[in-house]
């Protein structure tokens, strides 16, 4: 099963080149991990380790985008530094606020609603989701 997933992520050599940002190969390239040597028969533990690392980094990146940088407009660059600064300023968000953010991230990135929101072309009052509901 794991081999089939890795092989399906390979596409047309995009796993090896990392050209398609939606593939694990792209993430593997960005984090400096070598892709499996044989995409048809992968070693289980290194492949699982790579996939979990990619999953963790993508989730952290979603959280990073939620918090603003020092200018208050653009997303923070380093989420770990951001939370270190919040700790130093004694202004870490409470668990209730973090749960609200987690719920928002879930709705934005992992729900079926997110698919339709991604299809939204941004015009005022236009939404694929609204068209499907009404």
Is 132 part of any domain? yes
Task: Tell me, yes or no, whether 12 lies in a domain.
Answer: no
Q: Which residues does residue 68 pair with via DSSP β-bridges, in sequence order?
A: 75
Domain membership of residue 132 as a residue range: 93-134
Would 115 be classed as within a structural domain?
Answer: yes
- 45/42 Cα distance (integer angstroms): 9
Query: Tens-of-pLDDT digits for all 134 residues of the chain?
Result: 676 776 666 544 555 555 677 777 777 788 888 777 777 777 888 888 888 888 888 889 889 989 988 788 888 899 999 999 999 999 999 999 999 999 999 888 887 776 776 666 555 444 444 444 44
Q: Does residue 20 sit within a domain?
A: no
Structural domain count of the chain: 1
Q: What letter does residue 75 receive in the DSSP assignment?
A: B
Q: What is the DSSP letter of 38?
A: -
Indicate whether 27 belongs to any domain. no
Cα–Cα dist 99/5, whole Å = 31
Give the angle subtended at the CA of 78 by the CAs of 74 and 82, to the nearest 5°. 85
Whether residue 102 is contained in a domain is answered as: yes
């Amino acid at each position: 099963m794991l081999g089939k997933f890795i092989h399906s992520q390979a596409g047309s050599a995009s796993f090896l080149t990392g050209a398609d940002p939606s593939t694990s190969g792209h993430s593997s390239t960005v984090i400096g991990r070598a892709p499996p040597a044989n995409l048809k028969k992968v070693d289980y533990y290194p492949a699982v380790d790579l996939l979990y690392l990619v999953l963790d980094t993508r989730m952290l990146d979603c959280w990073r985008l939620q918090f603003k940088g020092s200018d208050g407009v653009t997303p923070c660059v380093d989420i770990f530094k951001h939370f270190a600064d919040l700790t130093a300023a004694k202004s870490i968000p409470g668990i209730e606020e973090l749960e609200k953010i987690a719920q928002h991230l879930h709705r934005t990135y992992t729900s079926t609603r997110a698919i339709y929101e991604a299809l939204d072309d941004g015009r005022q009052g236009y939404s694929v989701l609204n068209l499907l509901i009404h």
